[in-house]
Structures are given as C-alpha cells and as structure tokens.
Amino acid sequence: MFLSLLIILINNNDTLKGESIEAIATNTSTARTAFSKVASIDYTTAGTHSATVTFKLHFYVGEDTSADFSITASSVTFSGAVIDSEDIFTDLDDLISQINTQASNNNVNIVATESNGKLVLQTTNFYKPPIGKL
C-alpha cells in the first residue's frame, strides 16, 4: 500500500513529470530450488477403464481474482490395465517459453526467465491513477 501511494505521488508531481521522472513497481519472484519438474501424474487402471488427465498452471498477476492466463500440460490418456507415471513440465526452457508466449498473447505484464536453473517471474507495473484522483 505504501509503495502504491509513493508511486501515485511521484507520478502526479508536475515538477517530477517535467524532469521525465516516473515511478514504477517491480516484483521479482525466484524459485527456491532449481527446476526439475512441476509434477508427476501417477495412475493405475484395471480392466477397460480409461481416463484423460490434464494439468494446468494458472497465472494471476496483480490483484486479479481470476486467472490472467493458463498453461496446459500435455494431457495424459491411459486405458486398460496400466500402472504408470508421467512427469509434467519437465523442461524449464519450454515452460519459460510457454509463460512468455501466453503472457504476450494475453497482454499480461509478466516475464519468465531462468537464473541458475531456477524459474524467475518478474512483473513491472506502471501505476497511473485516473486524472484528478489520488
């Protein structure tokens, strides 16, 4: 809240505007551990049962209460008598590419990168309040 107020005050100051000074807020989140995979699906079927499992990652940027975009892993379909497991999102570069593509396609201000094998998500928001409102 304090940061938002500070940004509003800076961006509404005519003296600072005249000097081409603008405030932005940047949020960077870095994974705690190096990337290996997002998840595994373990499944067991018997007889003639079949199913399809789809795994989705939903991205919420800012104060949104609904997902700005989602990324769907390849669906896993299995049938018959099966005991198996499949890893999901096993390639960090592919996940980064999918995040950045979906963010761009949906006009969402988030960028995914990699640092030392870890997923890094960064948002940069320029806050411009409505004219005359603080």
Residue 55 Rama label (left phi>0; alpha psi -120 to 50; beta)? beta
- Residue 45, beta-bridge partner list: 82
Q: Which residue has the higher pLDDT, 119 or 82?
A: 119
Q: Which residue has the higher pLDDT, 38 or 115?
A: 115
Residue 62 Rama label (left phi>0; alpha psi -120 to 50; beta)? left
Beta strands (DSSP E) in 1-134 are: 25-30, 39-45, 50-53, 56-59, 69-72, 76-79, 82-88, 111-115, 118-125
- Residue 85 contacts residue 42 (beta carbons within 8 Å): yes
> What's the CA gap between 68 and 88, in Å, rounded?
21
> Average pLDDT over the chain, rounded to whole?
76
Please report, for the chain, the start and end positions of each structural domain, with discontinuous segments joined by +.
Answer: 25-125
Q: Does residue 54 have a pLDDT over 70?
A: yes
- For residue 42, count other CB atoms closer than 10 A to its CB: 9
What's the whole-model pTM score?
0.64
Q: Does residue 104 have a pLDDT over 90?
A: yes
